[in-house]
Chain A
Amino acid sequence: MSGDPKLERIAKGNALALCATGTWTASFAPVLERMVADAEKLAGSPQIISIDVSEIAKLDTFGAWLIERLRRSLTQGAVETQIAGLSANYSSLVDEVRRVKATPVVETSAVTISGMLEQIGRAVAGVGGTVAGLVDMLGAVLAASGRVLIHPRSFRLTSTVHHLEQVCWRAVPIIVLITFLIGCIIAQQGIFHFRRFGADIFVVDMLGVLVLREIGVLLVAIMVAGRSGSAYTAELGSMKMREEIDALRTMGFDPIEVLVLPRMLALVLALPILAFLGAMAALYGGGLVAWLYGGVDPEAFLLRLRDAISIDHFIVGIVKAPVMAAVIGIVACVEGLAVQGSAESLGQHTTSSVVKGIFFVIVMDGVFAIFFASIGM
């Protein structure tokens, strides 16, 4: 409306007046800052300087602060720079910014080699803390289960069934679809490569052993870590953020018993069921591909499968499932309860819940492989 802001210099004998005109608002801040920086160079000149603001059309906090900044840098020794022509409207605003103390220096941490080394050191030391946290949670869950066994009425059946629906029933379609596709792919690859040796039929052996011992349970565990582990962490984390967990504690409830135990139990029950369904879907998919792509008809496939696998293979696979579920559940709950106040922290812990969950699932699978090999199963 009143055009660009200006800061004119008018000399009157020994005195210099700085006349501010125009709109001194946030929108003109870059221009204003440059003008004020120019005028600040007058500091140290022998003249008496006053800042005349009577012609300012519009003033906001930004403008008022820049005038105040100018006044401060021009003020030297005993000579106080005056602000003249302040209208009643704006005087309270200028008084307000005058009370502001100089900005404290913002600490910024520079990236240094020692800083990076320190971070690595802290991360390594943190591994111990992570393991301790997991063991702590395992103990707490076992203690809570013990209490529930002694007082069965304190068991939360409704909550457990609800979580069972969430992590098991609702997971069935996606788990079945993905394991079916993986079964198809394994069979196709097997047939494609075995055909060169004329060993097409051995694809059934490979499929059966691989799916029942490893792929079925491992793949399902990884998917459950991504699907339900992350959900557990996010649920518990946002409850922690909103002080709901503290509220439970003050009412005399143990959050482990109320929140963690039903979730853990649901997961431990769900994973074997899902692993079984997944293995069946993968065998079905593999059989379908063997028939349509490899020319192994279903009767031959089943006959060969009966010879190739034994109940041992199935047991080796399914025994791992509840243990993996427990690992996923413990990791997810520890991470959820470690969430701090911010949305960023919730994101970090959900990420690390999934990453750690999958990592521990694979480590457990390796441990099981060694164990079963040494007992000859």
Chain B
Amino acid sequence: MAQEIQDVIQNPIIRVRDITVQFGTTRVLDGLNLDVKRGEILGFVGPSGAGKSVLTRTIIGLVPKVAGHIEVFGVDLDASNGAQRRGVERRWGVLFQQGALFSSLTVRQNIQFPMREYLRVSQRLMDEITMAKLAMVGLKPEVAERFPSELSGGMIKRVALARALSLDPDLVFLDEPTSGLDPIGAGDFDELVRTLQRTLGLTVFMVTHDLDSLYTACDRIAVLGNGKIIAAGSIADMQASQHPWLRQYFHGKRARAVMG
């Protein structure tokens, strides 16, 4: 118990150190360091093609890295054995950019898929929890029996979020959750992420391009450029920064429109 409390206080939930990722001769991430604190919503921004999704996929373990190490929940993912790794995977949820719902399963089966694999719970409880998750992400119960091909873009994102949350993870990765949503839908989604973070005590790692999301949902912002984190801090820090890309990003026409 004492050990665990120390963990909570001292250790960030994700600790990335000197990560280098290379595709052929192109170096995408170059000695990158990043900490994500427990319970925060971290917004991750950067120019298109800077490697935001690559970093997310590297942390999750989908992209191999050349150098550096990554700790999630205090477990070094390279040094971990299979059981430890599965333990970590069970505690995180991932929302992919396109939703990545299993197209041959219904919404209900999609959400129940991780439960079926990791937990031994009755069908009745799974059905009830599925309905609870659907309600949490703001979908009607009727959606449960539909297939992903019968859903709209916004609904797909919501179902994918419900699936990412199905095991009550401590950490969720959201890859551009509001892209392709209308402004009202995107605003609802930000609000939803905030609410879920409060109710479930989530830590959220959110890759985004959406200035509104940064202003309304994120506690802290990290900026990626030239394969490194060029700035990290609150929205006020970002606005005060003198970095040329940041100045353009946070003082451009669209940023002014968002700030009103």
Binding site for B on A (CB under 8 A): 1-2, 25-27, 29-30, 33, 60-62, 65-66, 69, 89, 92-93, 96-97, 99-101, 103-104, 106-107, 340-345
> What would 16 more interface pairs be, CB under 8 Å, given A96-B132, A106-B145?
A1-B1, A26-B121, A29-B119, A33-B121, A60-B168, A62-B125, A66-B125, A92-B198, A92-B199, A96-B135, A103-B127, A103-B131, A104-B144, A341-B149, A343-B102, A345-B104
Q: Across the interface, which residues of A come within 8 angstroms of B125, CB to CB?
A: 29, 33, 62, 65-66
Q: Across the interface, which residues of B come within 8 angstroms of A61, CB to CB?
A: 129, 132-133, 136, 165, 168, 200
Binding site for A on B (CB under 8 A): 1, 4, 102-104, 108, 115, 119-122, 124-125, 127-129, 131-133, 135-136, 141-142, 144-145, 147-150, 165, 167-168, 195, 198-201
Q: Across the interface, which residues of A come within 8 angstroms of B144, CB to CB?
A: 104, 106
- Are A340 and B149 in contact (CB-based, < 8 A)? yes
Closest CB of chain A to B27's CB: distance in Å? 31
Q: Across the interface, which residues of B come within 8 angstroms of A106, CB to CB?
A: 108, 127, 144-145
Closest CB of chain A to B168's CB: distance in Å? 4
Closest CB of chain B to A104's CB: distance in Å? 5
Closest CB of chain B to A102's CB: distance in Å? 8
7 A–B pairs (Cβ distance < 8 Å), ordered by A: A26-B168, A65-B129, A65-B132, A103-B124, A103-B131, A342-B104, A343-B103
Q: Across the interface, which residues of A come within 8 angstroms of B115, CB to CB?
A: 26
- Are A62 and B168 in contact (CB-based, < 8 A)? yes
Nearest A-chain residue to B104, judged by Cβ: A344
> How far is B144's CA from A164's CA once the two chains are assembled, in angstroms?
46
- Are A26 and B119 in contact (CB-based, < 8 A)? yes
> How far is B6's CA from A362's CA once the two chains are assembled, in angstroms?
73
- Are B120 and A29 in contact (CB-based, < 8 A)? yes
> How far is B108's CA from A13's CA once the two chains are assembled, in angstroms?
45
A-B contact number at CB 8 A: 89
Given contacts A1-B1, A97-B132, contact A62 B148 (CB under 8 A): no
Closest CB of chain A to B101's CB: distance in Å? 10
Q: Across the interface, which residues of A come within 8 angstroms of B147, CB to CB?
A: 341-342
Q: Across the interface, which residues of B come within 8 angstroms of A25, CB to CB?
A: 168
- Are B127 and A62 in contact (CB-based, < 8 A)? no
> How far is B132's CA from A69's CA once the two chains are assembled, in angstroms?
12
- Are B148 and A60 in contact (CB-based, < 8 A)? no
Nearest B-chain residue to A101, judged by Cβ: B141
Of B125, B135, B145, chain A has the most CB atoms within 10 Å of the CB of: B125
> How far is B107's CA from A106's CA once the two chains are assembled, in angstroms?
13
Q: Across the interface, which residues of A come within 8 angstroms of B108, CB to CB?
A: 106
> How far is B135's CA from A345's CA once the two chains are assembled, in angstroms?
29
Closest CB of chain B to A319's CB: distance in Å? 43
Contact of A341 among B128, B133, B148 (CB under 8 A): B148
Contact of A29 among B121, B149, B201 (CB under 8 A): B121
Q: Across the interface, which residues of B come within 8 angstroms of A33, CB to CB?
A: 121-122, 125
Contact of A93 among B103, B129, B131, B199 (CB under 8 A): B199
Closest CB of chain B to A67's CB: distance in Å? 12
Q: Across the interface, which residues of A come within 8 angstroms of B4, CB to CB?
A: 1
Q: Across the interface, which residues of A come within 8 angstroms of B121, CB to CB?
A: 26, 29-30, 33, 62
- Are B131 and A69 in contact (CB-based, < 8 A)? no
Closest CB of chain B to A37's CB: distance in Å? 10
Q: Across the interface, which residues of B come within 8 angstroms of A345, CB to CB?
A: 104
Nearest A-chain residue to B118, judged by Cβ: A26
- Are B131 and A100 in contact (CB-based, < 8 A)? yes
Q: Across the interface, which residues of A come within 8 angstroms of B199, CB to CB?
A: 92-93, 96
Closest CB of chain A to B145's CB: distance in Å? 7
> How far is B108's CA from A66's CA once the two chains are assembled, in angstroms?
19
Nearest B-chain residue to A66, judged by Cβ: B125
Q: Across the interface, which residues of A come within 8 angstroms of B198, CB to CB?
A: 92
Q: Across the interface, which residues of B come within 8 angstroms of A340, CB to CB?
A: 149
Q: Across the interface, which residues of A come within 8 angstroms of B142, CB to CB?
A: 104
Q: Across the interface, which residues of A come within 8 angstroms of B120, CB to CB?
A: 29-30
Closest CB of chain B to A145's CB: distance in Å? 33
Closest CB of chain B to A98's CB: distance in Å? 10
| 6 interchain residue pairs of minimum CB distance | A341-B149, A344-B104, A342-B103, A60-B168, A29-B121, A92-B199
- Are B103 and A104 in contact (CB-based, < 8 A)? no
Of B115, B132, B165, chain A has the most CB atoms within 10 Å of the CB of: B132
Q: Across the interface, which residues of A come within 8 angstroms of B149, CB to CB?
A: 340-342
> How far is B102's CA from A341's CA once the two chains are assembled, in angstroms?
11
> How far is B147's CA from A128's CA once the two chains are assembled, in angstroms?
28
> How far is B1's CA from A65's CA once the two chains are assembled, in angstroms?
26
> How far is B200's CA from A340's CA once the two chains are assembled, in angstroms?
37
> How far is B103's CA from A340's CA once the two chains are assembled, in angstroms?
10
Closest CB of chain A to B41's CB: distance in Å? 16
> How far is B148's CA from A217's CA once the two chains are assembled, in angstroms?
43
> How far is B119's CA from A101's CA once the two chains are assembled, in angstroms?
24
- Are B131 and A344 in contact (CB-based, < 8 A)? no
Q: Across the interface, which residues of B come within 8 angstroms of A26, CB to CB?
A: 115, 119, 121, 167-168
Q: Across the interface, which residues of B come within 8 angstroms of A1, CB to CB?
A: 1, 4
Nearest A-chain residue to B5, judged by Cβ: A1
Q: Across the interface, which residues of A come within 8 angstroms of B1, CB to CB?
A: 1-2
Q: Across the interface, which residues of B come within 8 angstroms of A344, CB to CB?
A: 103-104
Q: Across the interface, which residues of B come within 8 angstroms of A100, CB to CB?
A: 128, 131-132, 135
Closest CB of chain B to A28's CB: distance in Å? 10
Closest CB of chain A to B113's CB: distance in Å? 14
- Are A69 and B128 in contact (CB-based, < 8 A)? yes
Closest CB of chain B to A367's CB: distance in Å? 38
Q: Across the interface, which residues of A come within 8 angstroms of B103, CB to CB?
A: 341-344
